[in-house]
Structure 1
Amino acid sequence: MTMHSSIPPVIEAPRSAPNRPRRGRTNTELYAWLFMRVSGVVLVVLVLGHLFIMNVLDGGVQRINWGFVAGRWASPFWQVWDLLMLWLAMLHGTNGLRTVINDYTRRDGTRLALKTVLYTATTITILLGTLVIFTFDPTLHS
């Protein structure tokens, strides 16, 4: 009877980055991790509050039209509420996608290109959303 000894294959850890040089010690990843936790909790409150108010207290989504939005955004409270949802959701999602890009791209050029597209799309969406919330003109509806 012969015994075959086999050496198990070495499996690289999913978050290791053997080809990337170590940069100076910063707390960027710690702050990003903390932001994800805090923004996630705040988003749960904002989104569930929004859904409860819109669907239970305000009579449901069938009431939503141009006039409803115009009346809603006439109040600074609702402008800030929607602005917080927009900004936190975009930044939370961007931070999550940034982590995925860092974890799964091997080439520095690909990583740079993907992050450039991500940050550009995020910036445009936040700027346009903010502009719409604060410059919404209910008199434009025909």
Structure 2
Amino acid sequence: MTTTTTPAIDAPRSPKEPHKLRSRRTSRTGRTNFELYSWLFMRFSGLLLTVLVLGHLFIMLVLDGGVEKINFAFVAGRWASPFWQIWDLLTLWLATLHGTNGLRTVINDYAERDGTRFVLKSLLYFAAIVMIFLGSLVIFTFDPSIKA
């Protein structure tokens, strides 16, 4: 009777050297719940974004008469209301943070070197901060009296 053993198969996207698995902080005392909170944020922000975006589309396309009515005056009238400013601000922030968190996860999964991971995540965070800052600035400083 012959006994055969199956060869060991590495986990997907894991480095071949076991010492590289511990390149990031993984000791029991150094662990935080950041990844858990990140995972929960993705679920809740995804649900809230679904409501915000579908609500936006329903209001813009069905209740407000379609895209033909969207122009400078329409946006000026809409952003005169704090309700719509908060709605659009919440959509902007959640979409940016949701996308940033998702791309951060992709970078962590596929960037093999620590230096590459650092550079990519630094660029990602910089872009997210600029997007949130400029988008918020536009929403809150929009002046309907200025016309091109």
Q: TM-score, normalised by structure 2?
A: 0.87
Deviation at 1:31, TM superposition (A): 0.2
The residue number in structure 2 matching 1:11 is: 10
Match of residue 70, structure 2, among 53, 64, 80? 64
Residue type of the partner of 2:80? A
- Once residues 25 and 19 of structure 1 are traced to their aligned partners in structure 2, the CA distance between those partners, rounded to angstroms, is 12
1:15–1:103 contact (8 Å) kept in structure 2:
no
- Once residues 40 and 103 of structure 1 are traced to their aligned partners in structure 2, the CA distance between those partners, rounded to angstroms, is 21
Deviations 1:21-47 (A, max 9, x none): 425121000000000000000000000
Match of residue 107, structure 2, among 101, 109, 122? 101
Q: 1:20 and 2:23 equivalent?
A: yes
| Pairing 1:46-65 to 2, within 5 Å after superposition | 46-65=52-71
The residue number in structure 2 matching 1:81 is: 87
**Root mean square deviation of aligned Cα:** 1.9
Deviations 1:40-80 (A, max 9, x none): 00000000000000000000011110000000000000000
Q: TM-score, normalised by structure 1?
A: 0.90
The alignment of Structure 1 onto Structure 2 pairs a total of residues equal to 139
- Once residues 105 and 44 of structure 1 are traced to their aligned partners in structure 2, the CA distance between those partners, rounded to angstroms, is 30
Deviation at 1:139, TM superposition (A): 1.0
Closer, same or farther: CA 136–15 of 1 in aligned 2, 3 Å: farther
Closer, same or farther: CA 130–15 of 1 in aligned 2, 3 Å: farther
In the alignment, structure 2 segments of 5+ residues that lack a partner are: none
Deviation at 1:10, TM superposition (A): 2.2
Match of residue 110, structure 1, among 85, 92, 116? 116
In the alignment, structure 1 segments of 5+ residues that lack a partner are: none
- Once residues 122 and 31 of structure 2 are traced to their aligned partners in structure 1, the CA distance between those partners, rounded to angstroms, is 23
- Once residues 46 and 15 of structure 1 are traced to their aligned partners in structure 2, the CA distance between those partners, rounded to angstroms, is 38
SS of the aligned residue for 2:21 comes to: coil
Residue type of the partner of 1:18? L
2:42–2:98 contact (8 Å) kept in structure 1:
yes
What is the aligned-residue identity percentage?
Answer: 64
- Once residues 7 and 83 of structure 1 are traced to their aligned partners in structure 2, the CA distance between those partners, rounded to angstroms, is 55
1:101–1:114 contact (8 Å) kept in structure 2:
yes
Instruction: Name the structure, 1 or 2, with higher relative contact order (CA <8 Å, separation 6+).
Output: 1
